[in-house]
Amino acid sequence: MECGEGERPDVSVMKTPEYIPRRSASTEKDAHCYIKMLYVLLAAVFLTTLTFSLPLNQDYHGEAETPLRFNSDGTFQISIFEDLHFGENAWEQWGPQQDVKTAAVMNAVLDAESPQLVVLNGDLITGENTFLENSTTYIDQIVAPLVQRDLPWASTYGNHDSDFNISRRNILGRERLYPNARTSQMVFGEDSGVSNYYLPVYPSDGGSEPCLLLWFFDSRGGFLYQQTDERSQRIDQPNWVDHSVVDWFQKTRDSLNAQFNRTIPSLAFVHIPTNASRALQLGVGVDPYTEPGIDEDTPLAGQAQGWCADGTSDSDCEYGGQDLPFMKALASTPGLLAVFSAHDHGATWCFKWNETLPGMHFSGNGLNLCFGQHSGYGGYGSWSRGSRQVFLTEALLAENEIDTWIRLESGDVVSSVTLNATYGLDRYSPTPDTHT
Ligand SMILES: *[C@@H]1O[C@H](CO)[C@@H](O)[C@H](O)[C@H]1NC(C)=O
Ligand SMILES: *[C@@H]1O[C@H](CO)[C@@H](O)[C@H](O)[C@H]1NC(C)=O
Ligand SMILES: *[C@@H]1O[C@H](CO)[C@@H](O)[C@H](O)[C@H]1NC(C)=O
Ligand SMILES: *[C@@H]1O[C@H](CO)[C@@H](O)[C@H](O)[C@H]1NC(C)=O
Ligand SMILES: *[C@@H]1O[C@H](CO)[C@@H](O)[C@H](O)[C@H]1NC(C)=O
Ligand SMILES: *[C@@H]1O[C@H](CO)[C@@H](O)[C@H](O)[C@H]1NC(C)=O
């Protein structure tokens, strides 16, 4: 192949088995070109053995993404689906039936709400139940309700999205077959995970400076793809946000704020909550009147659970502390208004983290730690399925305020709160503990 200006590889022969991440347009044409040649070579090698996976790089479509922008009325809404757990027990009737019910949850929520972005906050697929040859094709079912409505979406991956027969990279590749996918990868260390990236959101007036940043973090977990140890057991993958990602986050955050000469307000999404949520739950305690929501996963399962302080995985180790750098980074990020997690299906509250917690030598800066609602019929628990809505307006954002509520499959709205300066003191009606 030749390396030339504007040269595009032939898509028909470029069915790369692995997603090749987009990088910012590079002026270092030669280096870029050789890397590309290497990719093509690698792709050709992989193609002969891995014909079952067929993700294409968005670059090769030559399409520019439509940036996210506030509506002309100054609003921007996000619907979060989490713990969808598609693909359980394909060999029994109830597995595929359960997926149909989960898609119905998504359709019911999206018929009632009008988001500009959907976040799939991890555990899209129950990887331990999937087959090597078609494990990522569940993505097609998951995104069908979004494609039908022409909605952009952005994913974080959860612990169940990595297993012997499924990999995060291949899920990303499958997602990127769709132009509406905004899921990406911006950190490329061997242990960084995959779904680490940010998305800028632009103002309604057509301005070209972002007025909101959405950060997506990969808390990893689950098992390594197609690897076993000497006893033929699957190999655990660490379940916290890697330090390479923390470094990238801090550098990128600081350089964006410097570039635009202001603190850009932000939200973050990560599948597994940090120990801060657990420490708030067990220490200060979740009050059903001031932090309305279900609080039935006690204690919460968080990052670094099942890992010891020395870095070995052991279910007897309750908490290894490896999420400390990530927690510190979150707590010291000015303008970060809320972090949305999933993973604990029985937790749906938001808590304002403003205190020094026992055992922690730093305090939260008032950022809100929120859970969403279990959206899938797969995975544990029978709490009513639903989806957290995050509603922003340009005016509220200027005051560091967010409105948020949970839309249940039934159509009911619960846990509707304003995350403002007095959240944690304001009284709300408790969330009913309903099940399906
Ligand atoms: C994946 O393959 C399995 C085994 O052949 C099959 O039962 C299942 O329906 C397939 N899943 C999808 C989404 O095609
Ligand atoms: C992985 O997929 C292969 C091929 O479909 C299947 O035979 C095997 O049972 C799966 N392994 C696991 C651990 O699910
Ligand atoms: C950055 O913003 C401050 C006020 O917030 C202003 O004083 C300063 O001149 C700005 N710097 C640049 C380079 O625009
Ligand atoms: C982690 O949470 C526990 C409460 O479950 C708390 O006692 C401990 O101090 C916390 N540690 C850190 C480092 O956050
Ligand atoms: C925060 O929102 C609640 C609920 O809307 C409201 O009662 C309270 O007055 C607000 N606090 C501030 C400081 O605006
Ligand atoms: C932190 O929030 C709690 C309510 O969750 C409130 O009682 C306390 O006054 C707040 N502390 C500070 C320093 O703002």
Q: What is the mean pLDDT of residues 93-115?
A: 98
Q: Give the distance (Å) from ligand 5 centre to CA of residue 369.
A: 18
Q: Kindly list the distances between the CA atom of residue 293 and the CA atoms of 243, 287, 289, 386, in Å, as whole numbers in the listed order.
A: 31, 9, 9, 13
Count of other CB atoms within 10 angstroms of residue 205: 11
Question: How far apart are the C-alpha atoms of 37 and 87, rounded to whole Å?
Answer: 36
Residue 302: what pLDDT?
98
Q: Is the pLDDT higher at 135 or at 358?
A: 135
Q: 413-419 and 402-408 as β-strands: parallel, antiparallel, unpaired?
A: antiparallel
Q: Which ligand is nearest to the CA of 423?
A: 5
Check whether 398 has a pLDDT greater than 60.
yes
Name the burial class of residue 60, with classes exposed (0-12), middle (13-18) and buried (19+) by CB atoms within 10 angstroms of its CB: middle
Question: How far apart are the C-alpha atoms of 211 and 203, rounded to whole Å?
Answer: 6
User: Which of the listed residues 290, 351, 354 should we mutate to test ligand 6's pocket, taking the one with most ligand atoms within 8 A of CB?
Assistant: 354
User: Which of the listed residues 53, 131, 163 should we mutate to test ligand 2's pocket, taking the one with most ligand atoms within 8 A of CB?
Assistant: 131
Check whether 132 has a pLDDT greater than 50.
yes
Residue 356: what pLDDT?
81
pLDDT tens-place string over residues 301-340: 999 999 999 999 999 999 999 999 999 999 999 999 999 9
Check whether 269 has a pLDDT greater than 60.
yes
Residue whose Cα lies nearest atom 1 of ligand 5: it is 420
* Ligand 4 pocket check for 352: Cβ under 6 Å: no
User: Which of the listed residues 131, 138, 171 should we mutate to test ligand 1's pocket, taking the one with most ligand atoms within 8 A of CB?
Assistant: 131
Q: Which atom of ligand 5 is nearest to the CA of 418?
A: 2
Question: How far apart are the C-alpha atoms of 345 and 271, rounded to whole Å?
Answer: 11
* Ligand 5 pocket check for 426: Cβ under 6 Å: yes
53 closest CA partner among 236, 200, 176: 176
pLDDT bin (cut points 50, 70, 90) of residue 358 is confident
Residue with tokens 């140890």: 229
Residue with tokens 């009737």: 93
Question: How far apart are the C-alpha atoms of 191 and 335, rounded to whole Å?
Answer: 28
Q: 223-228 and 234-236 as β-strands: parallel, antiparallel, unpaired?
A: antiparallel
Q: Residue 385 has what DSSP assignment?
A: P
Check whether 243 has a pLDDT greater than 80.
yes
Class of domain 75-419: alpha beta
Q: 350-353 and 367-371 as β-strands: parallel, antiparallel, unpaired?
A: antiparallel
Q: Give the distance (Å) from ligand 2 centre to CA of residue 84.
A: 21
Residue 64: what pLDDT?
65
Check whether 424 has a pLDDT greater than 60.
yes
Question: How far apart are the C-alpha atoms of 163 and 131, rounded to whole Å?
Answer: 10
Check whether 7 has a pLDDT greater than 60.
no
Residue 222: what pLDDT?
98
As a whole number, the mean pLDDT across the chain is 88
Check whether 1 has a pLDDT greater than 50.
no
Residue whose Cα lies nearest atom 11 of ligand 4: it is 359
Half-sphere exposure (Cβ direction) of 419: Cα atoms closer than 13 Å: 29
Q: Which ligand is nearest to the CA of 135?
A: 1
Question: How far apart are the C-alpha atoms of 413 and 409, rounded to whole Å?
Answer: 9
Q: Give the distance (Å) from ligand 1 centre to CA of residue 90.
A: 6
Q: What is the mean pLDDT of residues 1-22?
A: 34
pLDDT tens-place string over residues 173-229: 999 999 999 999 999 999 999 999 999 999 999 999 999 999 999 999 999 999 999
Q: What is the mean pLDDT of residues 358-386?
A: 93
Name the burial class of residue 367, with classes exposed (0-12), middle (13-18) and buried (19+) by CB atoms within 10 angstroms of its CB: buried
Q: What is the mean pLDDT of residues 381-396?
A: 98
* Ligand 6: lining residues by beta carbon, under 6 Å: 352, 354-355, 424-425
Lowest mean pLDDT among 37-46, 273-282, 406-415: 37-46
Cα–chain center distance at 226: 23
Check whether 432 has a pLDDT greater than 60.
yes
Q: Which atom of ligand 4 is nearest to the CA of 276?
A: 14
Domain limits of the chain?
Answer: 75-419
